[in-house]
Amino acid sequence: MGKQETDFFDPHVLIEVANYRMPFGKYKGIRLCHLPESYLVWFRSKGFPPGKLGSLLELIYEIKLNGLEHLLYPLMKK
């Protein structure tokens, strides 16, 4: 089996990345879009984890890198 791919053009993926919370570590329970950029850069240098979490972390890295995180705020559930 190959690497799990995420369809970044699917609007449901943006809703998911806006609401997905970090499942472990120092930032457990924090929404991915609220993770510090330095943490995402660290993951980028070390390698994103496999699976769905890795795909979403890679997506949020690209979103933040391009200064587009404000587009996720309306998609957050309270």
Domain ranges of the chain: 11-75
pLDDT single digits (tens) 10-59: 789 999 999 999 999 999 999 999 999 999 999 999 999 999 999 999 99
What is the chain's Cα-based Rg?
A: 12
User: What mean pLDDT do residues 59-67 have?
Assistant: 95
Task: Please give the Cα distance from 76 to 78 (Å, whole number).
Answer: 6
- In this prediction the pTM is 0.85
Question: What is the token pair recorded at 24?
Answer: 């472990």
